[in-house]
Amino acid sequence: MRRAAVTAAIIVALMVVAPNPASAHPLGNFTINIASVIDVRDEVLLVTYVVDMAEIPAFQERNALDANRDERIDALERDTYADHACAGLAEGIEIRGDGEAAALRARGSRVSFPPGQAGLDTLRLRCTFEASTRAVVIDYRDRNYGARAGWHEISASGSALAGADVPTRSPSALLTAYPQDRLGAPLDIRTAQIRRGPGPNAETVPRGPVVGGPVSRAAEPFAALVARRDGTILALLIAIVLGALHALAPGHGKVAMAASLVAARGTAWHAATLGVTVTVAHTVGVLVLGAALAGSTTFAPERLYPWLGMAGGAMVAAFGATMLRARHRHTHPPTRRGMLTLGVAGGLTPSPSAILVMIAAIATGRLWFGVALVGAYGLGMACTLTGIGITLARARGLLERAHAGTRLARVVPVLSAWVVIAAGLVLIARGAVQA
């Protein structure tokens, strides 16, 4: 009891001295968010087009921004990037008036870099376009960043607007104030139909599909550690604690791990194998994705996550089926390969906060510190997951001794195997929906 109290006190102290994380992007660190505002006038359309990139895609744009590779963005590079970026975005916008294509011309551009999380900047690009058309029915389609997740909205207003199937005001105030009630289901509106003519502006309810919600922020304090310039040892200790707490969050195959240890009569050694394997798989995934993001301007990691989830779910379900088959054949001990498979499945999807740490470490030239933080974070995960596994293994032993020879002792392992299969199928279904 005394040891537990001391441990709790240390954790509280570490959390108190931990740095306050910078404000993260409301929709997650991977997103690219777009707002189009269409001003309908008598003979022209004026389009204000705003792009709001969260920390990771903003980092990927650095190669395009830093033309002379001197690790700083000067005024000329900033203006040149804004002009070129807006010209490229104009090509991804299609406007048709009464069925006829209307050319879109650039009238202005501006880029800024609001501060984000973990010492990284976000990117905000504002473009102004003009299209000449006197058409009555105008169709607008935005094809930009079709592979990236995020908020996409269109609004229309103006002196010559008779009606539209989009609202007359930007729901997010041009991506500066996202509605809290829509963060879980961001707008995904990429087309609009507008009617020109006399009559009042008609605001309509936004329609269209929605995309997945924001990245979980349960581990946001971890991302703030990379910005520390003092107390490296303290930062590593905090990372261990945050990793341990993160392992208690949903995911990491804990449900499947618990059920498998019960069904397969796992031991403390099996529990340790599971915990370490989950952690190693998670850490390797963070390093690989971090390297991929640092070397690419087009890689969209949020599109990879659903497939990783489905792959992990398939591995979990297959392991559950193996346990069920082994149970029917009266072979109880789990194999090392089985434990490794389940561990890899549990750690296959890396933590977005850990990836952000790696990106921030690369951006600040402190790669060694980022790797150390991710390793410490993984150590904390391993401690928690191994502790959970050992506790479950011991609990199963007590249950078997208390109910030896009873129906409960025979039924629980079979039910546990089905729980593992069900957990895998849920992961597959969730990934399929997101994909």
pLDDT, tens only, 301-350? 777 778 888 888 888 788 778 777 776 666 557 667 777 777 787 777 77
With beta carbons less than 8 A apart as the criterion, state whether 420 and 320 touch: yes
Distance CA 377, CA 347 (A): 13
- pLDDT at residue number 207: 44
What is the number of other CB atoms lying within 10 angstroms of the CB of residue 12?
10
Distance CA 413, CA 262 (A): 6
What is the number of other CB atoms lying within 10 angstroms of the CB of residue 362?
18
CA angle 145, 149, 153 (to 5 degrees): 75
Q: What percent of the chain has pLDDT over 70?
A: 76
When pLDDT is cut at 50, 70 and 90, the band that residue 242 belongs to is confident
Query: With 50 as the cut, is the pLDDT of residue 167 above it?
Result: yes
Q: What is the pLDDT of residues 348-387, one digit of tens each?
A: 777 777 888 888 888 777 888 888 888 888 888 878 877 7
Tokens representing 401 are 């001794």
Greatest CA separation for the chain: 86
Residues with Cβ within 8 Å of residue 393, at least 6 apart in sequence: 261, 266, 267, 268, 270, 271
Q: What is the pLDDT of residues 179-199, one digit of tens each?
A: 887 777 788 999 999 998 765
> Per-residue b/e over 248-272, b at no fewer than 16 CB within 10 Å?
eeebbbbbbbbbbbbbbbbbbebbb
When pLDDT is cut at 50, 70 and 90, the band that residue 403 belongs to is low
- More confident position, 315 or 106: 106
Instruction: Indicate the range of 39-43, 167-171, 246-250, 265-269 predicted with least confidence.
Output: 265-269
When pLDDT is cut at 50, 70 and 90, the band that residue 131 belongs to is very high
Distance CA 95, CA 86 (A): 16
Tokens representing 128 are 């102004």
Q: Which residues pair with 44 in a beta bridge?
A: 132
Alpha-helix runs per DSSP H in 247-350: 254-263, 268-294, 301-328, 336-346
The mean pLDDT of 147-158, rounded to a whole number, is 90
With beta carbons less than 8 A apart as the criterion, state whether 72 and 83 touch: no
**Which of 281, 271, 283 is CA-nearest to residue 383?**
271
Distance CA 102, CA 46 (A): 12
Distance CA 170, CA 54 (A): 19
- More confident position, 44 or 399: 44
With beta carbons less than 8 A apart as the criterion, state whether 352 and 29 touch: yes
Identity of the residue numbered 2: R
Give the alpha-carbon dihedral of 93, 129, 87, 173, to 10 degrees. Answer: -80
Q: Give pTM, 2 decimals.
A: 0.69
Identity of the residue numbered 5: A
Distance CA 293, CA 373 (A): 18
Q: Of the spans 97-106, 275-284, 300-309, 421-430, which averages the highest pLDDT?
A: 97-106
Q: What is the pLDDT of residues 253-297, one digit of tens each?
A: 555 555 565 555 666 777 777 778 877 888 888 888 888 887 777
Q: What is the pLDDT of residues 204-228, one digit of tens each?
A: 444 443 333 333 454 567 777 776 6
Distance CA 239, CA 228 (A): 12
Map tokens 């504002």 to a residue: 126
Map tokens 């890396």 to a residue: 350
Instruction: Indicate the range of 32-41, 145-154, 178-187, 319-328 predicted with least confidence.
Output: 319-328
Query: With 90 as the cut, is the pLDDT of residue 23 above it?
Result: no
Q: Of the spans 22-26, 64-68, 251-255, which averages the highest pLDDT?
A: 64-68
- pLDDT at residue number 137: 93
In the sheet that 93-97 helps form, which strands lie side by side, from edge to edge? 100-101, 93-97, 137-142, 191-196, 161-164
Mean pLDDT taken over the chain: 78
Query: With 90 as the cut, is the pLDDT of residue 111 above it?
Result: yes
Q: Is 180 exposed, middle or buried (0-12, 13-18, 19+ CB in 10 A)?
A: exposed
Residues with Cβ within 8 Å of residue 292, at least 6 apart in sequence: 299, 301
The mean pLDDT of 70-83, rounded to a whole number, is 88
With beta carbons less than 8 A apart as the criterion, state whether 54 and 30 touch: yes
Phi and psi torsions of 379, nearest 5°: -60, -40
